[in-house]
A and B are shown apart, each in its own frame.
Chain A
Amino acid sequence: MPAAGESPAALRLEKVSHAFVSARRTATALREVSADAARGTVTGVIGPDGAGKTTLLRLAAGLLKVQSGRIEVLGIDVARDPDQARRRLGYMPQRFGLYEDLTVRENLDLYAKVQNVPAAQRHRRGGELLHMTGLEPFLGRLAGRLSGGMKQKLGLACTLVRVPELLLLDEPTVGVDPVSRRELWEIIDHLVHTEQLTVMVSTSYLDEAERCQRVLLLHEGRLVAATDPASFTARSTGRSFHVSAAGIGKRQLQEQLARTPGVIDATIQGAFVRIVTAPGAQPPADSLAALAAPLSVVAVPPRFEDSFVAQIKQVSAPPPPNTPAIATGGTRSEEEASAAMTRREGRAPSTTDEAVIFADRLTRRFGDFVAVDAISFQVRRGEIFGLLGANGAGKSTTFRMLCGLLPASDGTLRVAGYDLRHAAASARGRIGYMAQKFSLYADLSVAENLRFFASAYRLHGAQRSARIDWALEEFVLGPYLDVVSRDLPLGYKQRLALACALMHAPEILFLDEPTSGVDPLARREFWLRINALAESGVTVLVTTHFMEEAEYCDRLAILAQGRVLAAGDPESLKARARTAAQPQPTMEDAFIALLEAAAAPQAA
């Protein structure tokens, strides 16, 4: 095999373009992408949804026909000899490629046989992988019964039964809790060190991208950046600031800053609003016209995410003037607020001390299994309250009880003043609910979906038309009116789902993993809308596994094994994880520290 000496790159892409042609339209997934991955390195492929990440990996794995350009895997032309290339690479598809009705052992055995791992080696390698992934105790368990994190590790183990030279991982950590994500990365680092493995991994988690030696940033099929994470981050040096203003709520401040010219990005981070300015633009002056209070602007070191957002916004075409981009999302909030006020007969549209959601010793049992164990919390009007937790922590069960979809076994639960035991239906009329997978009718157009949901909430005639017009304008769905919702871009699907949930102008909005699988840009836009809603007095309850999104919450509760592990505002939760080694813990650090602390007494 001459390959090792000849080509220094494990993977080389030369002007690779790819388009998907269907009867109705042609979608370009990749445009002249040239890049390479050096042996023994980890390359991260990042970019918004639909950027072409999966297409890139599938092309490298020989799963798609190379339409134009050239791809070399370990010196082998993939178009010419895909079988030879496949013999030397490992590939884990997005859904891990596991047989759910086979046990952990049977899955491993299958892949070992299919990859012709010699029997003697099979045993040793299998043992090693099981040890590394911590799956030893679960050998006899069906893969379908494993948690998301364990499935992902088993999937990885299956691709590694025969040591590949190049490992391709397609979004291996989607829907996996933070602890498992961290463990997966430890395994990858270990493999790179001990087995000289080359890894290419696509991810929508930017913190994972920072762990790579090199990142490839794709946007709309183009390679926007190919560099190491540190230099990538450095691209926005001198453009990142923390802004605060005395006496002004951080949400209101964020909204104003996002609308300020020269500000590319504005997010809430702790007590501050973090902004990134356009190249060459000055940081905002001491005060903003719209705000009376003076601003304090402090330069801060750039983050990876700052560069990510800046780079993508830079290459994206500026939005046409009649399309209010995220920055103007707030312009309609006053109207929305006043509409909400008239509906609620003049109740104060801001945070009050009145508890809109009141849960006391809420418990749900399934047979002997206690899914939710006496949890208590209160959510005030106009507050954004987050429920955080790993898979199986009891988030979904709690959520279903709050929506009146599942009766509580024990405890008290009041939503919008109604006891859910007796008046679940009345309470539901005050609730808007956006389910995890958006629950839209994929075959209906945008207009049809809106009409259906309006009717489902018993809106008729003029009232119905008014709400639909509101939704089309507020969510800028007008241009997509007749598009079948299956064909909508993901970000627009999310807007439509939110519009449907808000059809009846609910007082309380439940969001179940609303941003799962959505890229950082679409997440930002989404949260701007949610902020505007909260400002107008809507109470928002959200579950998420994106720890940085916890920053958007006023208060949150971290759940583990059906109990509230900790509750409070983001700052105080982060403060608990502050150590000498980690003076600036992130929400994720705090989450992991809390979980570890909770697990420790049990382990001892």
Chain B
Amino acid sequence: MRESLERLAGLLHKEALQILRDPSALAIAFLLPAILLVIFGYGVTLDPHHVPLAVVVEQPDAITQSFVSALGGTPYFTTETFNTIQAADRAFDAREVSGIIWLRANFARQLTSRGDAPIGVIVNGVDANTARLIEGYLQQTWATWLAARSRAQGRPAGLPVAVEPRVRFNAAVSSRDYLVPGLIAIVMTLTGALLTALVIAREWEHGTLEALMVTRASIREILLAKLLPYFVLGMGGMLATLALAVTLFAVPFRGSLLVLTAASALFLLAALGMGLLISSFARNQFVAGQIAIIVTFLPAFILSGFVFDIGSMPWAVRLITYLVAARYFVAILQSEFLAGNVWSVIVPNALALLLMALIFLGAARLGARKRLD
């Protein structure tokens, strides 16, 4: 036992020195997450914001004026007024505006007589997601304006159903608030699976693993010496991302740190298990990197519900997502950040993570032998 600890200490010391001296390890563990955080925190936003709209007002009057200023008054749109649809079309074709609102000459008259009037809406559908969002925001603005107008006139709104939107959990409807927590899963996949697979493949390439195998170090010690440092690194990455998310990006955190840490640990173990498993058959860095990216990183990005909603995927793809560990972790993360400790979400997902961690670590342990064949 004492001898085993001594060997483990030697291996851990070596691993620590290597991590500190290897710029590429530090880059994957810290620089890449930082870049992702900046991209997702600042750059990528799925919310329309100050979308340029052309408003065609064929006959300007007080009513159209009121509607145009209601549009411009939201944070979603900036408006530019045109007199004819042809002029607006030209601006649309030149990509100066993303959509057109068309108020015909009889707009004010119809509105006054019927309490409602048709408006033309043309949206650039190239980016379907944004188009749908613009559409939604427009409808909301229209409804709000109509209601406000009716109230001002002391009449009930002319709509058959009064829609009163209430958004739960992400009241600001900010995509950043749900993207940034999901990033923790990506960051931990990078250190857990990709980095681990790479560093072990490097040991194969340099023949150092071959040399270690003939020493007294047991295979358990060799694996443990890889697991522990990268576990610490991964948890560090998680805490750093959490800190930046809450401070720099003001993402709310409504759950408990303890639950988050425990869930992260489970996910990280599953990721490390995958990394070890990959490196047991991919013995050069190129292959190990490719495999790790394809089977861990990309699924964590695409199939985990981090960016794309799993519920709206075709059923075949949805089935595949059940094999992606990140899916369970992202569910926990989104709950912890946006809703709080929702046990009905946390418990089943945590159990799934535990199962995956056991399977992958177990397979890695069984697959590792002190032999080359």
Cα–Cα, bound, A109→B11 (Å): 10
Cα–Cα, bound, A95→B10 (Å): 21
Q: Is the CB of A65 within 8 A of B373?
A: yes
Q: Is the CB of B210 within 8 A of A97?
A: yes
Q: What A residues does B14 contact at CB under 8 A?
A: 99, 102, 106, 110
The digit string for B15-30, where 1 denotes a CB below 8 A from any CB of A, is 0011001100000000
Given contacts A63-B210, A63-B213, A114-B215, contact A102 B18 (CB under 8 A): yes
Least CB distance from B368 to A in Å reads 14
| Interface hub of A91, A114, A115, A159 (most chain B Cβ within 10 A) | A114
Q: What A residues does B214 contact at CB under 8 A?
A: 61-63, 86, 89-91
Q: Is the CB of A95 within 8 A of B6?
A: no
Q: Is the CB of B216 within 8 A of A115?
A: yes
Cα–Cα, bound, A155→B6 (Å): 21
The range of chain B's interface size is: 20 to 34
A88-106 residues at the B interface, CB under 8 angstroms: 89-102, 106
- Whether A235 sits at the interface, judged by CB under 8 Å, is no
Question: Which secondary structure characterizes the binding site on chain B?
Answer: helix
Given contacts A86-B214, A101-B17, A116-B6, contact A62 B370 (CB under 8 A): yes
Q: What A residues does B13 contact at CB under 8 A?
A: 109-110, 113
Nearest neighbor of A92 in chain B, beta-carbon distance: B211
- Whether B3 sits at the interface, judged by CB under 8 Å, is yes
Of the candidates B9, B208, B373, the one whose C-beta lies within 8 Å of that of A97 is B208
Nearest neighbor of A64 in chain B, beta-carbon distance: B373
Least CB distance from B199 to A in Å reads 11
Nearest neighbor of A158 in chain B, beta-carbon distance: B211
Least CB distance from B106 to A in Å reads 71
Q: Is the CB of B212 within 8 A of A97?
A: yes
- Whether A111 sits at the interface, judged by CB under 8 Å, is yes
Q: What B residues does A155 contact at CB under 8 A?
A: 211
The digit string for A55-94, where 1 denotes a CB below 8 A from any CB of B, is 0001001111100000000000000001100110111111
- Whether B217 sits at the interface, judged by CB under 8 Å, is yes
Q: What A residues does B75 contact at CB under 8 A?
A: none
Of the candidates B211, B371, B373, the one whose C-beta lies within 8 Å of that of A93 is B211
Q: What A residues does B207 contact at CB under 8 A?
A: 93-97
Cα–Cα, bound, A101→B214 (Å): 21
B35-61 residues at the A interface, CB under 8 angstroms: none
Least CB distance from B202 to A in Å reads 10
Cα–Cα, bound, A83→B7 (Å): 15
Q: Is the CB of B211 within 8 A of A101?
A: no
Least CB distance from B369 to A in Å reads 9
Cα–Cα, bound, A239→B211 (Å): 43
Q: Is the CB of A113 within 8 A of B371?
A: no
Of the candidates B3, B206, B216, B217, the one whose C-beta lies within 8 Å of that of A95 is B206
Least CB distance from A26 to B in Å reads 13
Nearest neighbor of A107 in chain B, beta-carbon distance: B14
Q: What A residues does B6 contact at CB under 8 A?
A: 113, 116
Q: What B residues does A159 contact at CB under 8 A?
A: 211
Q: Is the CB of B372 within 8 A of A63?
A: yes
Nearest neighbor of A86 in chain B, beta-carbon distance: B214
B314-373 residues at the A interface, CB under 8 angstroms: 370-373
Least CB distance from B283 to A in Å reads 13
Q: Is the CB of B21 within 8 A of A114?
A: no
Q: What A residues does B211 contact at CB under 8 A?
A: 91-93, 96-98, 155, 158-159
The digit string for B203-246, where 1 denotes a CB below 8 A from any CB of A, is 00011101111111110000000000000000000000000000
Q: Is the CB of B21 within 8 A of A116?
A: no
A168-208 residues at the B interface, CB under 8 angstroms: none
Cα–Cα, bound, A94→B373 (Å): 17
Least CB distance from B150 to A in Å reads 73
Q: Is the CB of B18 within 8 A of A101?
A: yes
Q: Is the CB of A86 within 8 A of B373?
A: no
Least CB distance from A523 to B in Å reads 25
Q: What A residues does B21 contact at CB under 8 A?
A: 101
Q: Is the CB of B217 within 8 A of A114?
A: yes
Of the candidates B11, B18, B218, B372, the one whose C-beta lies within 8 Å of that of A64 is B372
Q: Is the CB of B11 within 8 A of A102?
A: no
Cα–Cα, bound, A112→B6 (Å): 10
Cα–Cα, bound, A97→B204 (Å): 10
Q: What A residues does B22 contact at CB under 8 A?
A: 101
Q: Is the CB of A116 within 8 A of B371?
A: no
Q: What B residues does A89 contact at CB under 8 A?
A: 214
Q: Is the CB of B216 within 8 A of A114?
A: yes
The digit string for A27-70, where 1 denotes a CB below 8 A from any CB of B, is 00000000000000000000000000000001001111100000
Cα–Cα, bound, A541→B214 (Å): 43
Q: Is the CB of B10 within 8 A of A113?
A: yes
Given contacts A95-B207, A116-B6, contact A111 B371 (CB under 8 A): no
Nearest neighbor of B18 in chain A, beta-carbon distance: A101
Least CB distance from B232 to A in Å reads 19
Of the candidates B3, B9, B216, B372, the one whose C-beta lies within 8 Å of that of A58 is B372
Q: What A residues does B212 contact at CB under 8 A?
A: 97, 114
Q: Is the CB of A82 within 8 A of B370?
A: yes
The digit string for A148-168, where 1 denotes a CB below 8 A from any CB of B, is 000000010011000000000
Q: Is the CB of A111 within 8 A of B215?
A: yes
Q: What B residues does A82 contact at CB under 8 A?
A: 370-371
Q: What A residues does B3 contact at CB under 8 A?
A: 116
Q: What A residues does B17 contact at CB under 8 A?
A: 101-102, 106
Cα–Cα, bound, A97→B209 (Å): 7
Cα–Cα, bound, A111→B215 (Å): 8
Given contacts A97-B207, A101-B17, A102-B17, contact A115 B215 (CB under 8 A): yes
Q: What B residues does A99 contact at CB under 8 A?
A: 14, 18, 206, 208
Cα–Cα, bound, A158→B208 (Å): 11
Least CB distance from A154 to B in Å reads 12
Cα–Cα, bound, A89→B215 (Å): 9
Cα–Cα, bound, A90→B212 (Å): 11
Cα–Cα, bound, A102→B202 (Å): 14
Cα–Cα, bound, A101→B24 (Å): 12
Q: What A residues does B9 contact at CB under 8 A?
A: 113
Report the 7 A-B pairs with minimum CB-CB distance, sorted nearest first: A97-B211, A113-B10, A95-B207, A91-B214, A93-B210, A93-B207, A114-B215
| CB pairs A–B below 8 angstroms (8 shown) | A82-B370, A83-B218, A92-B211, A99-B14, A102-B18, A109-B13, A114-B11, A158-B211
10 further interface pairs, Cβ-Cβ under 8 Å (given A62-B214, A101-B17, A106-B17): A62-B371, A64-B372, A87-B216, A91-B211, A94-B207, A101-B18, A102-B14, A102-B17, A112-B10, A116-B7
